[in-house]
């Protein structure tokens, strides 16, 4: 049973590093979006970190606070709307569009590349509680969540996002 949760606002990729730029559609496979390149492949880009998901509401709140951000600035592959970042947990599975199924694996620890937007940005979206995987942190989910790809397929902006289950 699929519980509607939100929608895909933007699908993004890059030729390495930040920012990632919007594409009209993307093919998602076991290692993420085809054609997406990581600047530091020893740190990013494994099956457990195939995709980075960020909530549009986080980006918009930071923009309203004066940060020069936009969708893709965090290096996310998928920007969503309607998911409550406070309820995201490792092990949750979501269907994106018709075909793609992902499983959240862990909160993303933001890297120094975000300093290009503002040196204090990393501390605003990530703290020791998040690092310890404590969802009680007021910053929980702000830095995004990594996901593995359970089932690949084609994904486009506007696709629905539905909660499927907690993986066991």
Domain ranges of the chain: 3-166
How big is the CA angle at 61 (ends 60 and 62), to the nearest 5 degrees?
Answer: 90
| pLDDT, mean of residues 36-46 | 70
pLDDT at position 3 is 62
From residue 24, give the alpha-carbon distance in Å to each of 27, 34, 39, 90, 101.
Answer: 11, 13, 22, 28, 19
- Residue 143 · residue 130 · CB < 8 Å: yes
For residue 44, give the nearest of 11, 80, 92, 77 by alpha carbon: 77
What CATH class has 3-166?
Answer: mainly beta
Cβ pair 25, 32 in contact under 8 A: no
Supply the pLDDT for residue 19.
93
**Who wins on pLDDT, 25 or 41?**
25
Is residue 1 pLDDT above 60, yes or no? no
> What secondary structure letter does DSSP report for 164?
E
pLDDT tens, position by position, 74-96: 999 999 999 999 999 999 999 99
Please state, as a whole number, how many other Cβ atoms lie within 10 Å of the Cβ of residue 160. 16
Q: Using CA atoms, how far apart are residues 45 and 40, in angstroms rounded to an integer?
A: 8
Q: What is the pLDDT of residue 18?
A: 87
pLDDT surpasses 80 at 128: yes
pLDDT band, very low/low/confident/very high, at 166 (cuts 50, 70, 90): confident
Can you give the pLDDT at residue 165? 86
What pLDDT, on the 0 to 100 scale, is given for residue 2? 60
Determine the Cα–Cα distance for residues 34 and 14; give it in Å rounded to an integer: 10
If you average pLDDT over residues 134-153, what whole number do you get? Answer: 97
Q: Indicate the average pLDDT of the chain.
A: 93
Question: What's the confidence (pLDDT) of residue 167?
Answer: 80
**Whole-angstrom distance, CA of residue 164 vs CA of residue 166:** 7
């Amino acid at each position: 049973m699929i519980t509607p949760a939100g929608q895909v606002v933007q699908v993004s990729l890059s030729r390495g590093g930040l920012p990632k730029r919007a594409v009209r559609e993307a093919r998602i496979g076991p290692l993420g979006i085809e054609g997406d390149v990581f600047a530091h492949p020893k740190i990013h880009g494994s099956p457990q970190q195939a995709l980075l998901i960020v909530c549009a509401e986080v980006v918009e709140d930071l923009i309203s606070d004066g940060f020069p951000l936009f969708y893709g600035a965090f290096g996310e592959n998928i920007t969503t709307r309607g998911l409550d970042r406070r309820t995201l947990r490792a092990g949750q599975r979501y269907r994106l569009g018709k075909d793609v199924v992902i499983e959240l694996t862990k909160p993303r620890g933001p890297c120094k590349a975000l300093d290009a937007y503002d040196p204090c940005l990393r501390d605003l979206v990530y703290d020791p509680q998040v690092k310890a995987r404590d969802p009680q942190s007021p910053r929980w989910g702000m830095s995004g969540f990594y996901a593995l790809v359970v089932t690949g397929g084609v994904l486009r902006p506007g696709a629905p996002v539905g909660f499927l289950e907690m993986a066991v």
